[in-house]
Structure 1
Amino acid sequence: MTQARARGPYTKTAARRAEIVRAARESFAEHGFTKASLRDIAERAGITHAGLLHHFRNKDDLLAAVLAERDIEERRYAESRVPDMDHLAPYLGDMLRHHQEAPELMRLWIELAAAASRPEHPAHGYFAERYAWGRDRFAQGMRGKARRGELHPALAPDEAATVLQAVLNGLQLQWLLDQDLDIVGPIRAFMRVTLPQAAEPGDGP
């Protein structure tokens, strides 16, 4: 009974924070980070402005929480779909389709990444670390492919990882400018060129 009572306030606080982060994500997607206001976020979350500040000190804290939540979602999805590099190309196609279902969030990510290139931006450290983490993960897989002779001979593993990140980002930006554009086909084609000796899962003779 004591444990149940102890968990109660924590559970309510966690649920309230999750609701605020959801509201912030919606507000950032609709208005952009700069124009989104804490009062709008509080209203979406169904609490007062003072109540919001009880959980998050400022908009920068909320931005960090929104980005962290997106990362958790992406990493869990990746872990469930990519047991090895042979599953990477199908996963990337599915990931792009998933992002296309929420174009405003895709736009927010791209806008924030560009703005965060300034060292003084509150998300600068996050994006720098996020891109470094992604390059490192891709490069690890590419090194394994290179050892098996499955990486294009003109590419070094680290180069392939950097270019792959650039292709993913560029395709999403192009799609936001022209939403009739196919971006799943090109990423699959890029992976076939990058890993010409690797068969996609399900490929048969």
Structure 2
Amino acid sequence: MDRTKARGPYAKTAARRAGIIRAARDSFAEHGYEGASLRDIAKRAGITHAAVLHHFENKDELLTAVLAQRDDEEWERGFAEAGALDSPAQYLGELLRRHQETPELMRLWAELSASASRPDHPARAYFVDRNERVRSYTAGVLREREAQGRLPEGLDPDSAAALLQAVLHGLQTQWLLNQELDIVKPLHRFFDLILLPVERGRSTDTP
């Protein structure tokens, strides 16, 4: 009984932070980083400006939380959806299309990830960890493909994972500069280059 009561304040705090992040995401998507204000975010969340500052030190910290939440959602969705789609290229193509629905968030991600390359940037640790996590996971998946004989000769999984990250980031940056550009088709062609088709009649159990 006492333990249930003890969880109350923590649950309330987590719910309040989640509400602020949702409000900030809407504000950033509508107004961009410069146009969004903490007072607008507070109004959307139904709380005071001071209450926002109680949970987040400044707008930079809040933007990092918004993008981290989007990243977490995409990881969860990826595990749920990737197996239901025909290929990684199909899943990632759908992911790019979803990003295109909120171009301002895509732009903020690109700007923040570049700014976080500075050693003193508050979001640096998050982006370093995030990039390593994505690269490590992707390389693991590609090692499975390598075991199936599906990586071209001379291309190792770690290099292929780094190239895929570069392609995804680069395509989105190009689209931000020219929103008439088709970035899904080049992504599929890139997968054609780094993943060989499954050989007919080959058993993946063969040593």
TM bucket (normalised to shorter chain) is 0.7 to 0.9
**Aligned 1:186-197 pairs, distance under 5 A:** 186-197=186-197
Structure 2 segments unaligned to the other structure (5+ residues): 200-207
Which residues of 2 match residues 138-177 of structure 1 at below 5 A? Answer: 138-177=138-177
**What is the TM-score with the length of structure 2 in the denominator?**
0.83
> Mean alpha-carbon deviation: is it higher for 117-126 or for 78-87?
78-87
Question: Which moves more between the two structures, 66-75 or 134-143?
Answer: 66-75
Q: Which residue of 1 aligns with 2:179?
A: 179
* Residue aligning to 1:74: 74
Note if contact 2:81-2:91 (Cα within 8 Å) is conserved in structure 1.
yes
1:178 offset after TM fit, Å? 1.0
Superposition RMSD on alpha carbons, in Å?
2.6
Q: Distance in 2 between matches of 1:57 and 1:71?
A: 21
Match of 2:88 in 1: 88
TM-score between the two structures when normalised by the length of structure 1: 0.84
User: Offset of 1:22 from its aligned partner?
Assistant: 1.4
Letter of the structure 2 residue corresponding to residue 108 of structure 1: L
Contact 1:86 1:198 in 2 (8 A): no
Offset of 1:6 from its aligned partner?
Answer: 6.5
Q: Deviations over 1:73-113 (max 9, x none)?
A: 11111101223996311111111111111111111100111
C-alpha separation in 2, matches of 1:167 and 1:145: 19
Identity value in percent: 57
CA distance in 1, matches of 2:140, 2:81: 17
Matched-pair contact (CA < 8 Å) for 2:21–2:62: yes
Partner of 1:24: 24
Conserved 8 A contact 1:149-1:197: no
The answer for the alignment partner of 1:203 in structure 2 is: none
- Give the equivalent residue in structure 1 for 2:49: 49
The DSSP-based 3-state class of the residue aligned with 1:83 is helix
Take 2:99 and 2:72, find their aligned partners in 1: how far apart are those partners?
Answer: 15
CA distance in 2, matches of 1:87, 1:110: 26
Distance in 2 between the 1:73 and 1:156 partners? 29
CA contact (8 A) 2:32 2:104 kept: no
Query: Is the contact between residue 175 and residue 181 of structure 2 (CA under 8 Å) also seen in structure 1?
Result: yes
Structure 1 unaligned spans of 5+: 200-205
Please say if residues 85 and 91 of structure 2, whose CA atoms lie closer than 8 Å, have aligned partners that are also in contact: no
Q: CA 1:4 to 1:129, structure 2 compared with 1: closer, same or farther past 3 Å?
A: closer
Greater relative contact order structure (CA < 8 Å, 6+ sep) = 1
Structure 1 residues 186 and 86 mapped into 2: Cα distance closer, same or farther (>3 Å)? same
State whether residues 81 and 87 of structure 1, in contact with CA within 8 Å, keep that contact through their aligned partners in structure 2. Answer: no
1:137 aligns with 2:125: no
Q: Is this contact kept in 1: 2:142–2:161, CA < 8 A?
A: yes
